[in-house]
Structure 1
Amino acid sequence: MVLSGEKTIESRFSRNRCAPYGEIDDGDIILLKEVAGPICGLALARRIWCYDLSTEPIDRIRHRFGAAIRADDEFWSSRADALYATLIELDAPASIAPVGCDKRDRRGWVSLRSRQMAFDFA
């Protein structure tokens, strides 16, 4: 949905303050990876919102951003216990030739530093 432009906000909800909460900035490049597959696209982070859900009700986030997040009722119900939310407005999503990614853990979000970003596009 991101690459087609249907989904314009990526959301991450968690019980702990973990990436991307507080780590992503406007203008960052986001690599889009298939589940158990290669990196297949990228997008720019246009705007970022980080919420502490103990002070910002998730229903308010759903009302304001729900259409852009493109999630169903089950999605929202499954995040009812979350304590933190990061919303990322995506800009200029683009498909790329698949790039292998040796990610073996279950983290849904990984922040890469410049020293980790050695890609061989040859």
Structure 2
Amino acid sequence: MMKHHLAILSPGWIELILDGSKTIESRFTKVRCAPFGKVHTGDIVYLKESGGQVKGMFTVEKVETYEDLTDAQICDLFYKEYREQIFSSLSALMRRPPEKWLTAKHATLIHVRDPVAFDNPFPFPKRDPRAWVVLDAPLF
């Protein structure tokens, strides 16, 4: 059964997904938490800017999950193999993975399909610190 998710992203990242230049949304965490094990092919992901509005959505093309990661695995597999899909045009500026990745033990790579920008972005009330929420129902 298809699920709906709300992904919270820092300013600038949503536009890269919506214009098609960022084709993988990645989440690296110290513990197992959503989206790890919660997002699946065919699910819908709504894109909300941190402190802002829901600006668009995409369908999940494919999901890859990894556990018990080492720094070397993160550097080799993710940074070298997926850098351009994750960071888009910013990848040329990056010499090494973000520091927060190097403390991660779990990773979820969500391949983006059919991104859609909303003509009328809308607010979504959220006051907790989670950067990923599995929704009980579609937003519209």
Smaller-chain TM-score range?
Answer: 0.7 to 0.9
- 2:126 match: secondary structure: coil
Which amino acid in 2 is paired with 1:65? Answer: Y
Alignment partners' CA distance in 1, 2:129 and 2:96:
21
Which amino acid in 1 is paired with 2:54? Answer: I
Match of residue 133, structure 2, among 105, 110, 121 = 110
Query: Number of aligned pairs?
Result: 117
Check if 1:94 corresponds to 2:116: yes
Render the CA deviation track for 1:9-28: whole Å, top value 9, x for unaligned.
Answer: 00000001000000000010
Which residue in the other structure is 2:61 paired with? 46
Alignment partners' CA distance in 1, 2:106 and 2:45:
20
Render the CA deviation track for 1:23-57: whole Å, top value 9, x for unaligned.
Answer: 00001000011110110100011000001143781
Check if 1:28 corresponds to 2:43: yes
Which residue in the other structure is 1:83 paired with? 105
Q: What 5-or-longer segments of structure 2 have no aligned partner?
A: 1-15
Q: What 5-or-longer segments of structure 1 have no aligned partner?
A: none
Task: Give the CA deviation at 1:75.
Answer: 4.9
Say which structure is richer in helix: 2
Q: Which TM-score applies when normalising by structure 1?
A: 0.87
- 2:103 match: secondary structure: coil
Alignment partners' CA distance in 2, 1:74 and 1:104:
32
Q: Which TM-score applies when normalising by structure 2?
A: 0.76
Please, which moves more after superposition, 77-86 or 66-75?
66-75
- 2:110 match: secondary structure: strand
Which residue in the other structure is 2:73 paired with? 57
* CA contact 1:50–1:85 (8 Å) conserved in 2: yes
Render the CA deviation track for 1:78-111: whole Å, top value 9, x for unaligned.
Answer: 3101010000000111111212100111111111
Structure 1 residues 118 and 82, CA, compared in 2 at 3 Å: closer, same or farther?
A: closer
State percent identity of aligned pairs.
35
Alignment partners' CA distance in 2, 1:110 and 1:51:
20
* CA contact 2:67–2:105 (8 Å) conserved in 1: yes
Please, which moves more after superposition, 53-62 or 37-46?
53-62
Cα RMSD, aligned residues only: 1.8
